[in-house]
Structure 1
Amino acid sequence: MERTAPTTGHPTIPDPVVLDRDGLDALIDALRGDGYTVIGPRLRDGAIVLDPVESADDLPWGWIDEQDGGRYRLMPGDGNAAFAHTVGPQSWKRHLYPPRQTLWTGRRDGRGFTVDTPTDPAPRQAFLGVRACDLAAMAVQDRVFGVTPHDGRSAGQERFTDTGYAARRAAAFIVAVNCGRAGRTCFCDSVGTGPKAAGGYDLALTELPGAELPGRGAPAFLAAAGSAAGAALLARLPGRPAGAEDRAAAEAAVEGARAQMGRAMVSDAGPLLARNLEHPRWAEVAARCLNCANCTMVCPTCFCTTVEDSTDLSGDHVERWRRWDSCFTVDFSYIHGGAIRQSGLSRYRQWMTHKLSSWWEQFGTSGCTGCGRCITWCPVGIDITEEARAIKDSEGRG
């Protein structure tokens, strides 16, 4: 979704400013005052989750996460940063494309039925702490659901717009956070989506844990506007103009995260997988895969759904619901006569080849943005980058 300054004359995006913790509080207050529900990272149930945030005090100050294949835990960090963690088990997809949605309801009306579709306006949500990989995931889903991508490219999907997604996307205010730390399952740098946000946001923050405002010892944030709405909000916040040292510190933080990437995706994953559909590696990974669908549930771009109809006991009321599903379930590929993909091998191959290869044919982009969630939250630690690398290495041996 395009988020730019007005096109009349020169862009009016202001220079970045530096906010302290009070400024971050003012940002949240301003968004809430404008009628937004602010959703941001919070510490709950031993993880960093995305929940409503009422003030800066709700953020996970001082906490970091340790992630690896099939492993996630929180621990105190060395400092008192608000955004030193990486991505958690939830993505912003659940707020733009909810796990359960009512498509329509029907009620008996005399000898026929009256069908009603939801007409409630999209909620005004402000997303605080959106990482570059998740911004890229939003752009991917924009293509999938027929919303004009933020970079202006079209994959021909605009004829088939998901109106609910489009409305929620248009109503959202995006506050990105550039990463100053990467985890062991992160690989956004190798797929070109991070660790710095390239666009698609209203405001972008870069945390400068070592910076201090005059007379204060709190962390500071370099805040830059990415849209006219972001610029208008930034002008209302207490801060000081960013100097050359602040900008340099922000760039150094991002480059530090880039150097910490724990994984890397092979550069030619799409054509590599397309020419290796019968590779023996698929059987090896299928022997480990539990077909639990965790990878698809935590993925910020997966969009598989199913439709359910239900009626009350009288038969006078009917509802049609859409809910998330997964290509790892046997029933997902069911057609008249049975399921197409009955083996774990075929289901894992479908997921990985769609994500990294055939997604290009459908939507003009990869379906993977390098967030690493599928690696972290796989119970047996299956690593999508390792599987792609193993197939590539086998070609070299041939």
Structure 2
Amino acid sequence: MSTMDRADCDDGTAVITVEGLHGLIDALRSEGYRVIGPTLRDDAIVYDDIAGPDDLPRGWTDRQQAGRYALVRRSDDALFGYNVSPHSWKKFLFPTSETLWRAERGDDGTMTCAAPSPPSEKFAFVGMRACELHAVSIQDRVLCEGDHADERYASRRKSAFLIAVNCGQAGGTCFCASMGTGPRAEGGFDLALTELIGGGAHRFLIETGSAAGTRILAYLPKESASASDIAAAAAVSENAAEQMGRSLETDGLKDLLQDNLDHPRWADVADRCLTCGNCTMVCPTCFCSTVEDHTDLEGKSAECIRKWDSCFTLDFSFIHGGGVRASARSRYRQWMTHKLANWIDQFGTSGCVGCGRCITWCPTGIDLTEEAAAIRATPMEAGSS
């Protein structure tokens, strides 16, 4: 059972050690899950396969600012003492490249066409932040609901087991508190951990969020959580909330952006924007894609492949006669107004969760919170152009 269709269950709170965390990962692996979590690779903390706590970034953190990312040693052995990874969990649920169908011509000239079998791999994600849980819920709304659900995404999502980790610190580009998406996970998980280090102890407060989480927790060596454990976990989240590196005023933001499509700030940001698409590639909620048809040289086989795309690419808005958004100004405006305004009209929520990745990984350090504040400071008068 997943968090998408969880049954009602009793709340459960306990405390486990690092050995208990090892037992949790082992329990998930024994049930056939491919366990994904944070690990060190290529001078970054990335999400990849893990076999146990030894694969986690013990004693490492990251320092993030606009256009900057660096690994730094911590003064303790925290396993989850970092902010967010350069990429998101989206890459596992909605892969960067995926074959939609394949056609084969037989020797007798007959043609067969079929889609690949539904994904059977089950993912268990360890270390999801509150903002990332919100991002998954946004992707669910886009890709699982409505008349045109993505069956392959829905299949992966339905079988996924989500383990949140409440943030103990905020990064220099984080602004989840402004978006109401963190730093504490309030729901959408099967299990949630809060890392507690101090007094010579290294423990985790663990909370259940689904019947599946309750069942897995029953397998683990654990202790009952005391009032002091619960208070310490609450203090961890409060500390992170006070460290936000950015803020975004959301009141009236939708109307502000939609009423200022000709604001001179769009030209200003266009002078700095490389239209590289980094912001959309690292964003955990962007869902734009394109399809490509490939054939072999003999004409015996063909396939249709879906790949991630970006509204920053010139071809993305191409129609007969050319692209609709030819300038950097129009493409950045499209991305930011869709993310913070038009998304609300489409899906009933903002498309931004305040993770700050778009700011960190912009080569020129463009900051959408700064851009929104600049437009708010000098809004255009109604009817002006």
Question: TM-score under structure 1 normalisation?
Answer: 0.93
Contact 1:21 1:218 survives alignment (8 Å) = no
Q: State the match for 2:376 in structure 1.
A: 392
Q: State the match for 2:291 in structure 1.
A: 307
> Please, which of 236, 242, 251 is the counterpart of residue 225 of structure 2?
242
- After superposition, the CA RMSD in angstroms is 1.5
Q: State the match for 1:253 in structure 2.
A: 236
> Please, which of 230, 233, 248 is the counterpart of residue 213 of structure 2?
230
Q: State the match for 2:322 in structure 1.
A: 338
Question: TM-score under structure 2 normalisation?
Answer: 0.96
Count of matched residue pairs: 379
Residue 123 of structure 1 aligns with an amino acid whose one-letter code is: E
Q: State the match for 1:53 in structure 2.
A: 50
**Aligned-pair distance for 1:272?**
1.0
Secondary structure at the counterpart of residue 270 of structure 2:
helix
Q: State the match for 2:7 in structure 1.
A: 6
Indicate how the Cα distance of structure 1 residues 346 and 220 shifts in structure 2: closer, same or farther if over 3 A, else same: same
Secondary structure at the counterpart of residue 331 of structure 1:
helix
**Aligned-pair distance for 1:385?**
0.4
> Please, which of 141, 154, 167 is the counterpart of residue 166 of structure 1?
154
Residue 6 of structure 1 aligns with an amino acid whose one-letter code is: A
**Aligned-pair distance for 1:170?**
0.5
**Aligned-pair distance for 1:137?**
0.3
> Please, which of 114, 118, 137 is the counterpart of residue 135 of structure 2?
137
**Aligned-pair distance for 1:292?**
0.7
**Aligned-pair distance for 1:78?**
1.9
Identity %: 56
Q: State the match for 1:321 in structure 2.
A: 305
Q: State the match for 1:262 in structure 2.
A: 245
Contact 1:59 1:82 survives alignment (8 Å) = yes
Question: Are 1:189 and 2:177 counterparts?
Answer: yes
Contact 1:108 1:114 survives alignment (8 Å) = yes
Residue 203 of structure 1 aligns with an amino acid whose one-letter code is: L
> Please, which of 65, 68, 72 is the counterpart of residue 65 of structure 2?
68
Q: Within 2, Cα distance between the matches of 1:72 and 1:82?
A: 19
Q: State the match for 2:346 in structure 1.
A: 362
**Aligned-pair distance for 1:13?**
3.2
> Please, which of 333, 340, 345 is the counterpart of residue 349 of structure 1?
333
Q: State the match for 2:189 in structure 1.
A: 201
**Aligned-pair distance for 1:74?**
0.4
Q: Within 2, Cα distance between the matches of 1:4 and 1:107?
A: 38
Unmatched segments (≥5 aa) in structure 1: 148-156
**Aligned-pair distance for 1:319?**
0.6
Indicate how the Cα distance of structure 1 residues 397 and 186 shifts in structure 2: closer, same or farther if over 3 A, else same: farther
**Aligned-pair distance for 1:33?**
0.9
**Aligned-pair distance for 1:121?**
3.4
Unmatched segments (≥5 aa) in structure 2: none
Contact 2:256 2:379 survives alignment (8 Å) = no
Q: Within 1, Cα distance between the matches of 2:304 and 2:182?
A: 39
Residue 236 of structure 1 aligns with an amino acid whose one-letter code is: Y
CA deviation map 1:234-271 (0-9, x unaligned):
11111100000000000000000000001011123211
Secondary structure at the counterpart of residue 395 of structure 1:
coil
Q: Within 1, Cα distance between the matches of 2:263 and 2:381?
A: 14
Q: Within 2, Cα distance between the matches of 1:188 and 1:3?
A: 23
CA deviation map 1:53-84 (0-9, x unaligned):
00111000110100000000001012111111
Q: Within 2, Cα distance between the matches of 1:333 and 1:121?
A: 30
CA deviation map 1:162-191 (0-9, x unaligned):
000000000110000010100110000000
Q: Within 2, Cα distance between the matches of 1:220 and 1:261?
A: 25
Q: State the match for 1:87 in structure 2.
A: 84
Secondary structure at the counterpart of residue 272 of structure 1:
helix
